């Protein structure tokens, strides 16, 4: 039977990003993509955050991150804020270190009780690190477009890795494009061997950016925390925005700082609790 059967979960919300948190630190049973797909029928989520026993000294847990299509992600900033809220509420801590496939993440209580900050680490810009299918010497904009070659609808995205690959297209109006149509085509473009998150971004001013994101393995989402981080970094690299900005997403706002001292990206935002539940064992296949 699936290790998720009869497991308690917390349904949470990271500014519109639907998150489910499951604490499995008392079990060594692995969770498979099939488990994730089956249990997605029990509760709606964009990401499932599974806490496993710590693998590194000084960490609270190793967190596996699954998209609702069963694929595994390296990072989810909105999901990490939900995880740390659960940990802080249960333990009284105000700081925690968590580990994901993308590395260690340092988290702490924000400036007010309902805000949480996640150190998302340093962005990566090398074409192999993102990754891209072939070499680009400058990833601040790459040769990729949608539409006629002489009049493209979208073109010249910045590409960044924040633990997962992101492509950011600069537009005048993030709602002026059919992202539900273009998103799947761009996510699966051959230039992205591990697929990509696709973001439309508008620079309001040097301190404010608005975005919409088609999320890899999820689809249209109200919020993508790593996408907001990638967008802020890309805008700063292009001298279009400051290193500390507010990013407005359909589900809410995040404060993003690309810290000069170590190039780490700090993301601050809310994390809301919705309800607790238990995965129905009847949904779990016998294996």
Active site residue 76: yes
Longest pairwise C-alpha distance within the chain? 58
For position 164, what pLDDT does the model report?
A: 93
Torsion of CA 89, 53, 10, 114, to 10 degrees: 30
233 φ, ψ (degrees, to nearest 5): -65, -45
Work out the angle at residue 123's Cα, subtended by the Cα atoms of residues 218 and 24, and round it to the nearest 5 degrees.
50
Please give the Cα distance from 208 to 152 (Å, whole number).
26
Higher pLDDT pick, 40 / 94: 94
Please give the Cα distance from 167 to 159 (Å, whole number).
5
Query: Taking residues 170-189, what's their average pLDDT?
Result: 96
Please give the Cα distance from 148 to 14 (Å, whole number).
37
Work out the angle at residue 10's Cα, subtended by the Cα atoms of residues 8 and 14, and round it to the nearest 5 degrees.
160
The answer to whether the CB of 14 falls within 8 A of the CB of 222 is no
Q: What is the pTM of this model?
A: 0.92
pLDDT by residue (tens digit) across 211-245?
999 999 899 999 999 999 999 999 999 999 999 99
Phi-psi region of 229 (alpha: psi -120 to 50; beta: other; left: phi over 0): alpha
The answer to whether the CB of 71 falls within 8 A of the CB of 261 is no
* Polymer length of the chain: 287
For residue 286, name the pLDDT band (cuts at 50, 70, 90): very low
| Average pLDDT over all residues of the chain | 93
The answer to whether the CB of 166 falls within 8 A of the CB of 136 is no
Reply yes or no on whether the pLDDT at 40 is more than 70: no
Is-cis flag, bond preceding 131, omega within 30? yes
pLDDT by residue (tens digit) across 93-131?
999 999 998 889 999 998 888 899 999 999 999 999 999
Query: Is the alpha carbon torsion for 131, 136, 140, 146 positive or negative?
Result: negative
> CB-based burial of residue 72 (10 Å sphere; 0-12 exposed, 13-18 middle, 19+ buried)?
middle
Torsion of CA 242, 231, 120, 249, to 10 degrees: 100
Q: Out of 82, 107, 224, 229, which one is annotated catalytic? A: 224
Please give the Cα distance from 72 to 217 (Å, whole number).
9
The answer to whether the CB of 42 falls within 8 A of the CB of 60 is no
């Amino acid at each position: 039977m699936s290790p998720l059967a009869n497991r308690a979960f917390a349904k949470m919300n990271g500014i519109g990003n639907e998150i489910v948190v499951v604490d499995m630190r008392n079990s060594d049973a692995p969770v498979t993509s099939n488990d994730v797909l089956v249990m997605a029928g029990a509760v709606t989520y964009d990401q499932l955050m599974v806490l496993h026993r710590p693998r590194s000294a000084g960490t609270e847990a190793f967190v596996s991150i699954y998209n609702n299509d069963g694929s595994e992600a390296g990072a989810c900033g909105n999901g990490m804020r939900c995880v740390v809220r659960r940990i802080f509420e249960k333990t009284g801590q105000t700081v925690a270190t968590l580990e994901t496939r993308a590395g260690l993440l340092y988290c702490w209580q924000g400036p007010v009780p309902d805000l949480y900050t996640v150190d998302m680490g340093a962005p990566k810009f090398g074409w192999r690190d993102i990754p891209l299918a072939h070499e680009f010497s400058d990833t601040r904009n790459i040769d990729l477009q949608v539409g006629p070659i002489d009049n493209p609808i979208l073109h010249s995205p910045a590409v960044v890795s924040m633990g997962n690959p992101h492509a950011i297209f600069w537009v005048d109006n993030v709602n002026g494009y059919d992202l539900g149509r273009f998103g799947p085509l761009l996510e699966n473009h051959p230039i992205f061997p591990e697929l990509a998150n696709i973001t439309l971004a508008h620079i309001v001013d040097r301190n404010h950016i608005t975005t919409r994101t088609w999320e890899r393995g999820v689809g249209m989402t109200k919020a993508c925390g790593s996408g907001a981080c990638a967008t802020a970094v890309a805008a700063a690299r292009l001298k279009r925005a400051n290193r500390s900005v507010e990013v407005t997403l359909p589900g809410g706002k995040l404060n993003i700082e690309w810290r000069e001292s170590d190039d780490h990206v700090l993301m601050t935002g809310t994390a809301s609790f919705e309800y607790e539940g238990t995965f129905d064992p009847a949904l779990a296949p016998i294996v």
